[in-house]
Amino acid sequence: MAKRLQRDDASSEVHHFLKLFRMRIDVAIIGRSTHEFLVKHQPDLWGKFPTLSKSHDQYDRGVLFPQVFPKGHPVLGAILQQMHVDPAWNGIVVP
């Protein structure tokens, strides 16, 4: 039988963390800054909750446009494939 995830909302990231700390939930998504704040003010928490190396807000995005623009697909595709080497684009991308 497959296990299912169940969402459990909280009013703040700190409440998510407290639920995790009290073992009322198995996983919590909190911001890196919140995690650092909590550990800074409670140093005994350091290392007790492993974090992922890739932040949950780092993800791939898809580019969508209506099918009524079929000629746009190859043009846009070529642009997207070259973005990583475009100096103008790399100059504005947030690291």
Question: Is the pLDDT assigned to residue 6 strictly greater than 60?
Answer: yes
Q: For residue range 12-39, list pLDDT tens digits in order.
A: 888 888 888 888 888 888 887 888 888 8
pLDDT at 23: 87
One DSSP character per residue, 6-48 reads -----SSHHHHHHHHHTTS-S-----HHHHHHHHHH-GGGTTT
Q: For residue range 55-76, list pLDDT tens digits in order.
A: 666 666 677 777 787 777 788 8
pLDDT at 59: 61
Ramachandran sector of residue 5 (left: φ over 0; alpha: ψ -120 to 50; beta: rest): beta
